[in-house]
Structure 1
Amino acid sequence: MTSKRYQVFVSSTYNDLIEERAEIMQALLELDCMPAGMELFPAANEEQWNWIKKVIDESDYYLVIIGGRYGTISNATGMSFTEMEYRYAIETVKPVIAFLHEDPSKIEAGKTEGSSQAKKKLEQFRKLAEQRLCKYFTSPADLGAKMSRSITQLIKHHPSPGWIRANQIPEDHSQEVLNMKKHIEELEKRLRQVGLVEPAGTEKLSKGKDEFSVDFSFETKNAETAKNGAKYWKKDGEFDHTFKTSWDSLFTYLAPDLISPTSEYRVISRLNQFIEESNSSYFATKHENQKIYNIRIYSSSFDTLKIQLRALKLISIVDSDKWMLSPYGDNYMTKLLAVHKV
């Protein structure tokens, strides 16, 4: 009987030395996983970067443990090699999970960053990791336990080719396995390229800076004074309004929330916030001194928006009703929102 093993690239900024590494090693080995990365590059530098990427490419899964340090910084990018590894793993569509210390303030001072700049970069890195699959831990023992459960689920939901010893592969299956591995590599390469090119068939669709009319309703309240002098708000009326906005404006407002699966209820809530912010001048002029509340996008506008973003291949619907950026949508969001050099 063949036994499949998985190579797991582990990167860490959590310096509890032997205790931490022992917990990680034990958790991975008990799951028939082969750790890579943590011990191979004790002092990452520019010359080793291509080698690091090669090891990540050959790994089945990528784990990052974020503690109290940001890590060695690359002169070329200004980012730590740990963050560069994490971003590269995401870019190459590698199954990724981050483990973040639940309360960095409790980490010993000697194992945390000293400068304000490094602390700021570490906090930004934590926020980046929190946008995707992540778990929080409090100690090396807690890290090992949560890592075991998390990797088991990661393997279950994101199957990988893994590794099988050559002497365990039946001769009549060896060529079949090699062909399947090659086919998987080709599919993964095609998947990475999907996000870089505008999908075919969207050329004639309304998009980008083209305008879209959004219909919504809202209610107003007037300020009143009770007999005892107390102030209160009294319902005044219900109104309808329509305004125009661009597809890019709508998309960039929603996109950061869609990096991970987001419920349709949350999407609608964000759209109502967008409507409120976009119509602040209208409310101030037409409903001066009134309280605006219960803003709701019309279902017809919402359905059109949902269909259009799907038609433009910017989003996909997962788990029946959750919105998530497609590979192309993720790349398009980055182009629109990333900060460019002046």
Structure 2
Amino acid sequence: MTVERREQVFVSSTFKDLVEERAAVIQTLLEADCIPAGMEMFPASDSDKFDLIKRVIDLCDYYVVIIGGRYGTVDAGVNLSYTEMEYDYAVGTGKPVMAFLHGDPGKLIGEKLDLDADLRKKLETFRQKTERRMVKYWSDLGDLKGQVALAIIQIRKSHPVEGWIRASEAMTPEVKAELVELRAKVRELSADLKDEQRQRTAAVDPSELVQGDETAHIGCTLEFHWQSTIDTGKAYPSNRAHGSWTITPTWNRILRHLGPELMDESSEEYLMERLSALCLEASSDDLLKKDRNDRGTDDSDDPGNKDDSQEGPDAESDDDDQVGRIYEATVSIESFNDVKVQFAALGLIEKGAKRRPGSDRHTYWRLTERGHNQLLRLRAIRKPTLVTPGQADGGD
């Protein structure tokens, strides 16, 4: 899509002697799809007006000065005409300048000439100043319009500028992409600020809480068969036993297990399923390996071994009966809530923020930045550490 741009051009000149010339220049600029602007009609005695003139020049892309046979009203403070002050300001700010000088001002008559010798001298000095740059000379209205039209074409090539465009055309694909990126950055910074504020206003000091490699106590209910039932060939779904068990994983193990599900967002229902899966894994380690140990199998190095005094499903049977197989494990709601509250208090999780249909009544959780970083430290796979023979033997 072609974006239509229009350059704004400041037109400067004396006023009363160049009314027709100014109108011709403005008409030419309009025909060239430029936006003319001029402030020389403001009263010369009002010094505040020149501040406004400077601001308008700053907003313009190009500066045009038309010089005829008059120097113009002189500002007593700087002893310069407002036209020359405008020119000096435009040049000083690096604005591209187009100057159009009458080719033979001596032929002008009447109100188009300064009769005062001092003003005529100032005009000549001003003309010489402008002639140090590229200027165009004109003799009549037709000539002036042609010179202006040609100068606009040339300066657009030599000094391309930003110009003005319609607001409806300003939203280019590049601008849209930049806005999307900026909005994403704002959301990211807002989330960081929210996390920082939450940590500052935490109800408890995280250093006072159990965490990391310290032990958690997670209660769960089990569905299983006794080994004796399996041995007699009477293990049916209808006669499975039920009991309670408490697993004791570390808080880091729980985060390792649940964390990947929370990297995006996860519902409480699914998190309970995942924590129940951890209960099944840990209770199987505790009870089945414990039973093998009781039978004389050396599994003492296996993780999750528990003391024989730990209370569990085998407490419901005779002392010589053992758990043979665990089919299902379900975390208790109290233990699930304990895990949820503990991770929230540690600043590892927070409520989900994704928009969902109104019919979705589930509660969602996600990792905070702190939780995300902690999970990466726990689960990222590291390269193996190479040990030289000398290091392994303790040598030099």
TM-score of the aligned structures, taking structure 2 as reference length: 0.42
Taking structure 1 as the reference length, what is the TM-score of the superposition?
Answer: 0.49
Larger radius of gyration between Structure 1 and Structure 2:
2
